A = this chain, B = another copy of it.
Amino acid sequence: MIACACVLLFSSCAGKQEDSSVLWKSKAAGVWTVKAGVPDELNLTSQLRVKPKWNSINAMGEASLPIEKEEIKFEFIDGKTYLRFPLAKGEKIYGLGLNFKTVEQRGRIMRLHVDHYGGRDNGRTHAPVPFFVSSRGYGAFINSARYLDVYVGTAVRVDSKVPANDTDRNTDRAWSAQPYSDQLDILIPTTGVDLVLFAGKNMLDVVRRFNLYNGGGVLPPKWGLGFWQRTPTLYSDKDVLNEVAEFKKRGFPLSVIGLEPGWMSRSYPCTYEWDKSRFPNPEKLVQTLNSEHVKTNLWMNEGVSPRSELASKLKPLSCSHTLWNGLIPDYTLPEVVDLVKGLMLKEHLSIGVSGYKMDENDGFDSWIFPDVATFPSGHSAEQMRQIYGSLMQQFTTKMYRDQNKRTYGLVRSSNGGASSFPYVIYNDYYKHRDFITALINSSFIGVLWTPEVRASNSSEEWLRRMQTVCFSPLAMLNAWADGTKPWTFKDVANDVNQIALLRMQLIPYLYTAFAAYTFQGVPPMRAMNLEPAFTAETSTQQSGALDGTKNPYALATKREMKDQFMVGQDLLVAPLFAGEKERQVILPQGKWYDFYTGDYVGEGEVITATPGLSKIPVYVRNGGIVPLLPKLITLDGSQQPLEIRHYGTKAGSFKLYDDDGESYDYEKGQYMYLDIQVDVDEAGHKKGSVILPDNQKSWSYNGVYTFHYMTK
């Protein structure tokens, strides 16, 4: 009865309220926070204990917002918060979650909701991060763990500043079903909101500030950037060792072996304990693998088996609902974290397991708790759904950090605030082209994504998928269901091997790109739209023809930049998909060169790539430098020589990041940059050099540097 009385009181004053309760604060150079109304205590970041990298943000220098803060409107209506941003003519909006089909979000409507991606960019996705970046040079992070309804320039107000075109569909060809809208509306279904605004001289700077605000991006352990293979779910320890031996025998790289549910005594729901019939001596297995420089990654999900030793203790600390009859622990409770961590330490970390693949925390609606579930902490199911993946990332990361070890693993859901957690998102959707669009979109929102390879309909598709996964944050074959091997498609087995070896060679370059993610917030794989030199008009509208059954509103279609991307400082990757013999590539300003041959290919223009099946088109910026390892099949920790490639006609420099590759000592300054320079004299002669900081030794390189000047 108490609740009802309150509700009445609340209803009685639920009329429209203006934004008298909006509090702005300047937090760092180009970062402002806004508290409006009465926000929830639990938001996307409140449980994550992540510290913004204020110093790194301030080091970027001042930046101002391109809009007046008064242009951002807040209303409090019906117990909800209505938030409105202005949109200018030609302004483009990126971000707003891990979308798979679209990159530019203006004109779209979404409900940001953690879920398995279901084939439509409607907001239901593995990382529905409520952050957008505008082409005008600012971004906003709506730090709410609610399901947010977002209308990106779709609705037109009666009092819009841009007067509506008064057209008549009957006779006026200018009539459009999508009239111009000058606002981005967000509905936050609670009584207030925490907002963070970021400015920047370009979109990349805005994204960098967002990432640094979230603690900076991930720096994976170096082994995480090698090649991963997951084994069939019922493999035994012997099968696993045979698999590793087979990789070695075939000269195929392998850094991590992933064990699927069958490593557990029971799973779906989980015991988190080893199955002693398939794995009689897990410690010996993991140590054997470690001695061969192959790390062990374990599948798990959040559902705890009623037969687990934890079950009786977790029962009162878990959700009202189950996941496949397993308890769903309330990870906002410290005692829950302690219980699960205790078991993980004993069963996994103490014997040398390197990390986890955390499945199903996206929910897939049908599996996870419904929104009517309750949690002992009192947090709503809606909020728990939005942060569940982040909570799992947080406590497992901390568990490794407490041992001064970096982990790197996989997760099915993430959200705003989780940028610094060493997890890469994956899913079951499996459309190759859309996987690449997701890779591109991940760079706007501070998450990592892998277009993992499972199976293919043809050797062509197999190779094309392998080519892209080797330019992603996590190069993995996930063969849990049918046990596919990299060499299964015989006619492309050698090509697959070559691209996997190239992945290994690229580790110094990629590791440096991840260091820039950590220290400067620069995403290692990036949308072309985040490349400052990329000035091409990336979207075109084509007007649609009226069709009474297929297009009754004569909707226009849009072409976007969603199939090529940047990797690290200077590489542009333009994948081909099965069935394609050629593709168009849009080059940013400046001269560009073929990665494989060093040949000049073009400059700020559209070129056609016809690389043949064995190659994925990769281009290098003029003056670009790419340091390469030898073709290793494992990273054994020994110091290696470097092949250093220089492209184009300009002088270049590359600061090669180096540290111990596996601990957090880099956070205490235990890292260095090798300064690679290539000078070009007036006659065009090139001369390379590598300079190490005074009195420092490299962790990873033995001092043998071979320069290749690729462009003749």
Which residues from chain A sit less than 8 Å from chain B, CB to CB? 1-4, 6-17, 20-21, 37-38, 75-79, 82, 84, 109, 149, 151, 154-159, 164-171, 175, 177-179, 185-187, 189, 191-192, 233-234, 261-262, 264, 266-268, 275, 305-307, 315, 318-322, 324-325, 327, 365-367, 369-374, 378, 380, 382, 428, 430, 454-455, 478-482, 546-549, 552-553
Contacts and interface: CB of A to CB of B under 8 A. Distances in A.
A275 B321 contact: no
A4 B380 contact: no
A366 B16 contact: no
Contact of A3 (B7, B13, B177): B13
B321 A454 contact: no
Given A154-B365, A177-B367, A428-B549, 20 more contacts: A2-B13, A2-B17, A4-B37, A6-B12, A11-B38, A75-B372, A78-B382, A151-B372, A158-B315, A158-B318, A158-B321, A158-B327, A164-B306, A168-B266, A170-B233, A170-B261, A177-B366, A187-B370, A187-B371, A481-B548
Contact of A306 (B2, B166, B189, B306): B166
Contact of A324 (B1, B75, B177): B177
Q: Which of A6, A165, A185 has the most CB of B within 10 A?
A: A6
A380 B77 contact: yes
11 contacts: A6-B14, A8-B38, A9-B9, A78-B380, A149-B370, A155-B372, A156-B322, A166-B306, A166-B307, A168-B268, A169-B261
Nearest to A122: B118
Contacts of A481: 546-549, 552
Contacts of A189: 189
A275 B170 contact: yes
Nearest to A325: B164
A177 B192 CA distance: 38
Nearest to A163: B325
Contacts of A233: 170
Q: Is the interface of A mostly helix, strand, loop or mixed?
A: loop
A170 B266 contact: yes
A157 B326 CA distance: 10
Nearest to A109: B365
A370 B109 contact: yes
User: How often does this chain occur in the complex, in copies?
Assistant: 2
Contact of A322 (B21, B77, B157, B324): B157
Contact of A372 (B82, B319, B325, B378): B82
A451 B35 CA distance: 51
Q: Which of A171, A371, A428, A552 has the most CB of B within 10 A?
A: A371
Contacts of A324: 169, 177, 179
A104 to B, nearest CB: 15
Given A7-B191, A481-B548, A370 B155 contact: yes
Given A8-B38, A165-B325, A155 B77 contact: no
A35 B154 CA distance: 38
A4 B156 contact: no
Given A151-B370, A548-B480, A320 B264 contact: no
A433 to B, nearest CB: 15
A319 B175 contact: no
A321 B156 contact: yes
A183 to B, nearest CB: 9
Given A14-B3, A428-B549, A155 B191 contact: no
A141 B320 CA distance: 26
Given A155-B369, A366-B178, A267 B10 contact: no
Nearest to A548: B481
A15 B376 CA distance: 11
A429 to B, nearest CB: 9
A391 to B, nearest CB: 19
A388 to B, nearest CB: 15
Nearest to A73: B372
B15 A455 contact: no
Given A185-B370, A327-B158, A548 B482 contact: yes
B17 A268 contact: no
